[in-house]
Chains A and B, each alone.
Chain A
Amino acid sequence: MVPWASDAAASTVMHERFIAGLVALLLCGLTGTALAADRQVLHKEQSLYHTIMIVSEPSRVCMQFSVRDGSRNQSCINPRHPKRMVFGYTRMMMAALLLAPEPQAVLVAGLGGGTLPTALAELVSDVRIDVVEIDQAVVDAAREFFDFKETERMRVHIRDARVFAKRALQRGRQYDLIILDAYSGDYIPEHLMTAEFLEEVRGLLTPDGVVAANTFATSRLYGYESATYRSVFGEFFNFKLRTSNNRVILATNGPLPTQAELHANARAWRKALAPYDVPIASYPRRLSTKLDWDLSKRPLTDQYSPANLLQRSR
């Protein structure tokens, strides 16, 4: 996927990039038609924030946010095995359970198909989950096509995540686990990638609360993002797999757990996570605290947060 292809028109200033963008667009168009035979669009909707498409493929149904066919999948489900997590990153996000093994209060920012909150509700008895999603149309699609259910214990709030966080802070809410999954890749909500936002998130955590953020391993923002998390949480776990373009950041309000604790939690969760295809036992040794980014990058703040521009700059 070429992240800037959709915005080729915006970078007309850089002539070569524009040409490259056109080529990429063309290629995307070609692959789109090539795939069309076994793909079927079940639902297409232009909401306030995205074009939402539900696409049926031979062994999965996916939610996509974009105009072009063949664009980035947000969420997929295998209808014959609805528990199985189709995406590597969704499985990787379950590593949060290594740090917060029995979360009682969870906040999820960004719903998509609802795979993560649904799995958590199934796995953790008595968990209460607040989902904050900006787009009502995403919630409707998740209900209709991904069997997402709102219950007493699973509440959905149609809000900007930043506004929700500030209000929750004002009301003194606390969460054991906060999942940040609000970046779709094509466009980043810049006010959700600043040190001030992460400070608010940290303020919402219980003393041993955990943040799990789904971000990109290959993006040009990698260094900035890492510096921002580091500035707020200090040392954190970076979780990457060779098979995935995603990286999951796992940060804690208190000190990070030891390898022994991680392994103990992995053993406790191994059986329960098997139906979800999550190889949790192999995760602890992949969690790294190495400073593997360009340390000259500055943290992003409310004063300086041009995430979308940085992602496209050289």
Chain B
Amino acid sequence: MRPRFLLINALAFCGGFSIMSLELLGGRILAPWFGSSIYVWGSIITVFMLSLSVGYLLGGWLSLHSPSLAKFGCIFLIAAAILVPVVYLAEPVMTWVFSKVEDPRYGSLAASLALFVAPTVVLGAISPYSVRLLVRRKEEAGKVAGTLYFVSTLGSALGTLATSFYFVLWFEMDTIVGVLAGTLLALGALGVGCRRLDRDA
């Protein structure tokens, strides 16, 4: 049971890390088209919160259908697959939005919706799904959820700090997104690969 607990927590941590790292990069991705004014951050935060809320519903719903470590790993694989197009689509999407929408407030909102909804919804599904995988008795449900929130939010905090203090100083933006996608891919594969751990659960 122990390795399974650690693995799921590690995955939840990285999910939280990726969400906030992507959110911070979002601001830099949009700046060349829509500036870096407060409303650009408003658009990004709105879109991330909205996507996470939908992701929570999705994760909860998915957890009803014979949940397993393998399926949990698949959520990460899908997140990784959706993150890669962000790198390639960002420029054409923003160019198109810029040509259609005059007001940079709605322009940044539209571009954020187009670029960040899909990956963030999928990443949002991680938390509720991981709760379902670790809860065995309803008495411990609150404690399990609390621990997972702690771990994934700690990941978010570190993702924010690492990205804004160091990653943008050391790497190009596409490299950072690429490494995030690669990490999600590796973790997803790890989840799928360790699916036998479910038998002892």
Measuring CB to CB, which residues of chain A are less than 8 angstroms from any residue of chain B? 13, 48, 134, 159-160, 162-163, 166-167, 170, 189-191, 194, 196-197, 301-306, 309-310, 313
Contact = CB atoms under 8 A, between A and B. Distances in A.
Interface of B: 28, 31-38, 98-99, 102, 104, 165, 168-169, 171-174
A304 B32 contact: no
| Of B28, B102, B171, most A-chain CB atoms within 10 Å | B28
Given A303-B173, A303-B174, A166 B33 contact: yes
Given A303-B173, A313-B169, A160 B38 contact: no
B104 A163 contact: yes
15 contacts: A160-B35, A162-B33, A162-B35, A163-B33, A163-B34, A163-B104, A166-B33, A190-B36, A191-B28, A191-B31, A197-B32, A302-B32, A304-B173, A309-B169, A310-B169
Nearest to B30: A191
A220 B33 CA distance: 27
A310 B168 CA distance: 10
Contacts, number: 58
B168 A306 contact: yes
Contact of A191 (B36, B98, B168, B169): B36
A191 B35 contact: yes
Nearest to B40: A160
Given A159-B104, A166-B32, A170-B99, 6 more contacts: A160-B35, A190-B36, A303-B172, A304-B168, A310-B169, A313-B169
Would you call the interface of chain B mostly helix, strand, loop, or mixed? Answer: helix
- Shortest Cβ-Cβ A-B pairs, 10 listed: A160-B35, A191-B31, A303-B172, A306-B169, A309-B169, A163-B35, A306-B168, A304-B172, A302-B32, A303-B173
Contacts of A303: 172-174
A196 B32 contact: yes
Contacts of B34: 160, 163
A115 B113 CA distance: 41
Contacts of B33: 162-163, 166
A197 B165 CA distance: 23
A313 to B, nearest CB: 7
B32 A134 contact: no
Contacts of A163: 33-35, 104
A134 B37 contact: yes
A166 to B, nearest CB: 6
Contacts of A160: 34-37, 104
Contacts of B102: 167
Contacts of B171: 304
A306 B169 CA distance: 6
Nearest to B38: A48
Contacts of A189: 36
Nearest to B175: A303
B116 to A, nearest CB: 18
A313 B35 CA distance: 25
B163 to A, nearest CB: 11
Contacts of A302: 28, 31-32, 173
Contacts of B35: 134, 159-160, 162-163, 191
Contacts of B32: 162, 166, 191, 194, 196-197, 302
Contacts of B99: 170
Contacts of B31: 162, 190-191, 302
